[in-house]
Amino acid sequence: MTALRRFGLLAPLAALSLAGCGLNSVPTAEEHVNAAWGDLQADYQRRADLVPNLVATVQGFANQEKSVLTEVTNARAKATTVQLNANDLSDPAKVQAFQAAQGQLSGSLGRLLVTVEAYPQLKSNENFLTLQSQLEGTENRIEIARRDYNEAVRQYNTTIRTFPDAVGAKIFYGAKPKVPFQASTAAQNAPAVNFNTAG
Given this model, what pLDDT does residue 191 score?
Answer: 45
Q: What value does the mean pLDDT take over residues 184-194?
A: 50
Task: For domain 24-187, give the fold.
Answer: de novo design (two linked rop proteins) (1.20.1440)
Query: What's the predicted TM-score (pTM) here?
Result: 0.72
The answer to whether 132 and 58 are in contact (CB under 8 A) is: no
138-177 pLDDT, tens digit each: 999 999 999 999 999 999 999 999 998 988 888 888 999 9
Helix%, strand%, coil% for the chain, nearest 5? 75, 0, 25
